[in-house]
């Protein structure tokens, strides 16, 4: 998961944060969402309402560290290939 998120970030295929995810979703560009396990109930509810595949990974601090930020609660995956890679990895082991 970590490497895929890093690659996707460098490729510009992530919407990072609540506003960015909502904006990308309104343009039908979100193929999957990753939320931190310690994300707020509001973030989790919003992620569920997007009707895309949802993955939970790490803490806000861990996601932030991967993406060069302090904390990140929600990430939108904007590329079908990266979404598929994350799904395959999630099926191989629990994330």
Q: Per residue in 25-68, pLDDT tens?
A: 999 999 999 999 999 999 999 999 999 999 999 999 999 999 99
CATH architecture of 2-92: 2-Layer Sandwich (3.30)
Please answer whether residues 75 and 50 qualify as being in contact, where contact means their C-beta atoms are separated by less than 8 angstroms: no
CA 91 to CA 95: how far, in whole Å?
A: 9
Q: How far out from the chain centre does Cα 55 lie?
A: 7
Helices 60-67 & 2-10 angle (0-180, nearest 10)? 50
Does the pTM surpass 0.75? The reply is yes
CA 70 to CA 53: how far, in whole Å?
A: 25
> 11-21, pLDDT tens digit by residue?
999 999 999 99
Domain locations along the chain: 2-92
């Amino acid at each position: 998961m970590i490497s895929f998120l890093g690659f996707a970030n460098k490729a510009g295929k992530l919407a990072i944060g609540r506003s960015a995810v909502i904006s990308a979703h309104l343009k039908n560009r979100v193929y999957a969402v990753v939320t931190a396990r310690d994300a707020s109930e509001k973030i989790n509810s919003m992620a569920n309402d997007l009707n895309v595949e949802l993955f939970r990974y790490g803490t806000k601090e861990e996601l932030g560290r991967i993406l060069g930020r302090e904390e990140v609660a929600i990430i939108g995956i904007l590329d079908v290939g990266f979404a598929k890679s994350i799904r395959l990895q999630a099926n191989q082991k629990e994330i």
